[in-house]
Amino acid sequence: MAFARAVKCYGEWAMGNSTKLAPDALGLGLRTPHYAHIFEYWPDLGYFEIISENFLGASPVPRQKLHRVRERYPVVLHGVGMNLLGHAPLDERYLDDLARLADEIDAPFVTDHLCWTGSHGTTHHDLLPTPYVPELVEFAAERAHGVQRRLGRPFGLENLSSYVQFQASTMTEWDFYSAVVRESGCWFMLDINNIYVSSENHDFNPEQYLKAIDFSRVLQVHLAGHTREPNGTIVDTHDQPVCEEVWRLYQSAWRMGGPFPTLLEWDDRIPPMPVALCELGEAIAARS
């Protein structure tokens, strides 16, 4: 019950606070090559998403640019370094810095990945999978709940794209993911491309994955491109346009549970801003 109350409270906060992120908003990942275009043309866009860690360092330069962007757009935080499923305790200083940054830019919500990123004092700078088992649900949910409470705003968990599954798993990824979100009182940060990538790599039906999602608790949806390696593995590279299959999956998701804010990520071979905006505009067509 306490979780349910928290969910309602955080949900209202996310969609109704001063930043006014529309339920069907379209957003783009804020990347350095686009700054010049943004500051000259201020494109019509619902919001930007930043990689949290890029703005947590001591250098004031990224922060200054972020504040210029924030003057015109809502900005949400997306992390890659929380290490939620790491065996070691969460980094308290990191969480403090993250909370401060979220407050500083009045972020409607914060997201990170349902994965681990480091172990035994070292960091791997990658989003790594684990076996999916019930005892890990409890562990992850308790941590995620604590993070959301500490941040004082909705905290969304993103599903991974993965290239390996483990014999030790006793749950499907979507059951694991849904259970962690449900038990924690947190939210889905649903990456449609990741569902597609994993479905191709592990031979499951991506529609089945979508059916397991409670769309009333989807904070945001991510779209991105990927690359197929010579051995057939699809890798989540974020260096291509969104492929047809992912657009179709997005369309299914929209029919099942839209509206939801939708964000395009492009992290490598980043095209000029107008090209990225054009690609994002495809989402409108896919919704109809």
Q: Which residues bind other proteins (CB under 8 A)?
A: 53, 56-61, 81-83, 85-88, 91, 94, 116-126, 128, 130-131, 133, 135-136, 138-139, 142-143, 163-168, 201-203, 229, 231-233, 235
Q: Which positions ≥6 away from 149 have C-beta within 8 Å?
A: 6
| Distance set, CA 265 to CA 78, 85, 175, 272 (Å) | 11, 23, 25, 13
Total Cβ atoms within 10 A of residue 266? 24
Of 15 and 50, which has the nearer Cβ to other proteins?
50
Of 130 and 262, which has the nearer Cβ to other proteins?
130
CB of 284 to other proteins, least distance (A): 33
Of 4 and 164, which has the nearer Cβ to other proteins?
164
Tell me the DSSP string of 21-86. Answer: --TT-EEEE--GGGHHHHHHH----SEEEEEGGGGSSS-HHHHHHHHHHHTTS-EEEE-S---TT-
CB of 72 to other proteins, least distance (A): 18
CB of 227 to other proteins, least distance (A): 11
CB of 24 to other proteins, least distance (A): 32
Query: Cis omega before residue 259 (within 30°)?
Result: yes
Of 170 and 216, which has the nearer Cβ to other proteins?
170
Of 53 and 191, which has the nearer Cβ to other proteins?
53
Of 21 and 144, which has the nearer Cβ to other proteins?
144
Q: Which two tokens stand for residue 127?
A: 């989003």
| Distance set, CA 110 to CA 63, 158, 187, 221, 254 (Å) | 17, 11, 10, 13, 22
CB of 135 to other proteins, least distance (A): 5
CB of 88 to other proteins, least distance (A): 8
In sequence order, the β-bridge partners of residue 155 are 110
